[in-house]
Amino acid sequence: MTVEQFRESLTATAPPADLGFALAGLWWDEKGDWSRAHESAQQDEGPAGSWVHAYLHRKEGDASNAAYWYSRCGRRPSRAALKEEWEEIVAGLLVAK
């Protein structure tokens, strides 16, 4: 799946079944459902889930919690605009998939 295909999937009512928890979290986030996004990210206990989890807490405004999750995935806290970071994570996770 490409980033463009990921974006196109946002017209559906649920994420594609093969996305995995981390990408599904980003899908729900883009749909405006932070709670579902967070629930999904929490189900992936690996680096991908931690990266999405970090982004979501950063978006929420909880910098200290976000910093913890960034450290869990081996990344420094992002200073990019939220939209830019969302794109970076989607692209990175799609490539890794």
For residue 30, give both structure tokens: 């883009």
For residue 41, give both structure tokens: 């990210």
Q: Letter for the amino acid at 74?
A: G
Comparing C-alpha atoms, which of 47, 3, 1 is closest to residue 21?
A: 47
Give the number of other Cβ atoms within 10 Å of residue 95's Cβ.
Answer: 8
Domain boundaries, the chain: 3-10+37-96
Say what the pTM is: 0.94
Label residue 20 by pLDDT band (50, 70, 90): very high
pLDDT in tens, 39-49: 999 999 999 99
Cα–Cα distance, 44 to 84 (Å, whole number): 22
